[in-house]
């Protein structure tokens, strides 16, 4: 369909509803994961949980002022309230009467439940549903549109694009400062980089992102988007830039696969993406460099190598001894290692292939090559002999 006006383009002309939803989800995911990297590095993940729940109270309060669910003031009001929550948690834990984890657990259920009570008492007729708050309404994204510079596009997509842009600018401008204050806050303070400013800037953006993402994907998925991809990238990368990049890859893969699986099984889209995010993070826990499965594999490999080292030691120790014919003989070596003939031959053949061992047919024994003797000396040093 060609739209009558030359200046008005509809996004739905070139992207179908599914594609619009998916695009919004991917952009939301990237906007969340780049901030998420710094939240994870600063061990602030649980603060995101608190923030994403308590902004509901911000939304309700801002609604009472604006009386309009579509007002951008709602977004700003709710975001400021999110920052206030972080501040309140900080204030409560500074009294040292409660620990900071406890402060999180006191403040956010208080704000969240206040919001639920307010909605159910005063805003019953308003389209503000507690279920939607938790799970979001991905399916509604393409229906709620707005027109910007002659382009009609989903409102959620537009807001998330703006937020993504702001987050990208923030992270690239302050990369150096964010890095030093997350790694060594005391050094950063002495170097003149106020960690307070960076902390509240990060929290303000997190709050804005959570509020904007909330509408589309809900409070639970928002936490998954912030923490999951960043935590996975943290386990796999050795530089901050790579961590940021890998987290966006994780986030995009999670969004795409979660979206299509949800459609295939006809289940909640945000729920499925959160499940996939959990799964990919869990897989990373198992498979990363220090992961459980990797550790088992490495242990197995080390054990194999240890046996070969043992064999080289045995050869090196007995080569120049009187009993070499017995200890190292083609048919007798097995009795001295207490291995069966087949195992001994397999291991010796591997060492012969690697050039450490040769057969001495004259004396009918196995002995070390030049290379093997070097390895023998190294093993003695390695094992402290």
Partner 1 sequence: MSENIIVKVEDLTMAYHDKPVLWDNDVNIIENTRTAIIGPNGAGKSTLLKGILGLQKTLSGTVEIMGKSVKQVHKKIAYIPQSNSVNWDFPTTALDVVLMGRYVHLGWIKRPGKKDIEIAKNALYKMGMQDYAKRQISQLSGGQKQRVFIARAIAQNAEIYFMDEPLAGVDKNTEKVIIDFLKDSQKQGKTSIVIHHDLNTLADYFDYLVILNKRIIAQGKMSKTLTQANLDAADMGGGFKINV
Residue ranges binding partner 1 (CB under 8 A): 41, 96, 173-174, 176-177, 179-180, 182-184, 186-187, 189-193, 234, 237-240, 242-243
- Angle at 140 (CA atoms; ends 138, 141), nearest 5 degrees: 70
Distance, in Å, from the CA atom of 92 to the CA atom of 99, rounded to the nearest integer, reads 9
Instruction: Tell me the three state secondary structure of residue 35.
Output: helix
Min dist CB 182 to partner 1, Å, is 7
Q: Are 300 and 342 in contact (CB under 8 A)?
A: no
Cα 76 versus chain centre, distance: 28
Name which of 98 and 180 has its Cβ closer to partner 1.
180
Distance, in Å, from the CA atom of 370 to the CA atom of 71, rounded to the nearest integer, reads 81
Name which of 122 and 183 has its Cβ closer to partner 1.
183
Name which of 177 and 319 has its Cβ closer to partner 1.
177
Min dist CB 196 to partner 1, Å, is 13
Angle of helix 72-94 relative to helix 195-236, nearest 10 degrees, comes to 90
The encoded tokens of residue 354 equal: 């690697």
Min dist CB 42 to partner 1, Å, is 9
Distance, in Å, from the CA atom of 55 to the CA atom of 288, rounded to the nearest integer, reads 35
DSSP H/E element including 355:
none
Name which of 173 and 293 has its Cβ closer to partner 1.
173
Min dist CB 198 to partner 1, Å, is 10
Name which of 153 and 178 has its Cβ closer to partner 1.
178
Other C-beta atoms closer than 10 Å to the C-beta of 74 total 21
Cα 135 versus chain centre, distance: 21
Min dist CB 129 to partner 1, Å, is 40
Min dist CB 174 to partner 1, Å, is 7
Residues with Cβ within 8 Å of residue 83, at least 6 apart in sequence: 200, 203, 204, 207
- Angle at 207 (CA atoms; ends 39, 29), nearest 5 degrees: 65
Name which of 186 and 362 has its Cβ closer to partner 1.
186
List, in sequence order, every residue forming a beta bridge with 366; answer none if it has no partner: 359
Min dist CB 290 to partner 1, Å, is 9
Distance, in Å, from the CA atom of 86 to the CA atom of 171, rounded to the nearest integer, reads 20
Name which of 242 and 304 has its Cβ closer to partner 1.
242
Name which of 115 and 205 has its Cβ closer to partner 1.
205
- Residues constituting the chain: 385
């Amino acid at each position: 369909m060609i739209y009558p006006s030359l200046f008005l383009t509809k996004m739905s002309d070139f992207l179908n509803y599914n594609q619009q939803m998916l695009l919004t989800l991917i952009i939301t995911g990237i906007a969340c994961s780049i901030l998420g990297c710094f939240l994870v590095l600063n061990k602030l993940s649980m603060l995101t949980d608190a923030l994403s729940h308590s902004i509901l109270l911000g939304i309700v309060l801002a609604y009472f002022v604006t009386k309009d669910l579509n007002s951008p003031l709602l977004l700003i009001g709710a975001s400021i309230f999110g920052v206030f929550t972080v501040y309140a948690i900080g204030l409560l834990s500074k009294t040292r009467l409660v620990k900071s984890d406890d402060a999180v657990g006191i403040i956010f259920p208080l704000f969240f439940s206040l919001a639920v009570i307010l909605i159910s008492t005063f805003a019953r007729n308003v389209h503000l549903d507690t279920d939607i708050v938790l799970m979001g309404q991905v399916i509604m994204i393409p229906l709620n549109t707005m027109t910007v510079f002659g382009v009609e596009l989903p409102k959620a997509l537009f807001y998330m694009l703006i937020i993504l842009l702001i987050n990208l600018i923030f992270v690239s401008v302050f990369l150096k400062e964010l890095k030093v204050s997350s790694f060594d806050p005391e050094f950063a303070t002495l170097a003149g980089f106020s960690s307070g400013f960076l902390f509240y800037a990060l929290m303000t953006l997190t709050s804005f992102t959570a509020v904007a993402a909330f509408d589309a994907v809900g409070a639970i998925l928002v936490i998954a988007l912030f923490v999951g991809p960043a935590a996975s990238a943290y386990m796999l990368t050795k530089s901050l830039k790579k961590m940021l990049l890998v987290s966006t890859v994780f986030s995009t893969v999670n969004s795409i696969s979660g979206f299509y699986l949800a459609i295939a099984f006809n289940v909640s889209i945000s729920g499925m993406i959160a499940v996939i995010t959990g799964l990919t993070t869990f897989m990373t826990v198992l498979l990363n460099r220090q992961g459980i499965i990797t550790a088992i594999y490495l242990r197995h490999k080390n054990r194999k190598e240890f046996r070969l080292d043992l064999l080289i030691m045995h050869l090196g120790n007995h080569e120049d001894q009187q009993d070499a014919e017995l200890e190292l003989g083609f048919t007798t070596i097995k009795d001295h290692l207490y291995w069966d003939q087949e195992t001994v031959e397999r291991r010796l053949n591997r060492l012969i292939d690697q050039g450490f061992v040769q057969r001495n047919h004259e004396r009918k024994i196995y002995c070390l090559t030049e290379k093997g003797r070097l390895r023998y000396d190294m093993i003695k040093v390695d094992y402290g002999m």
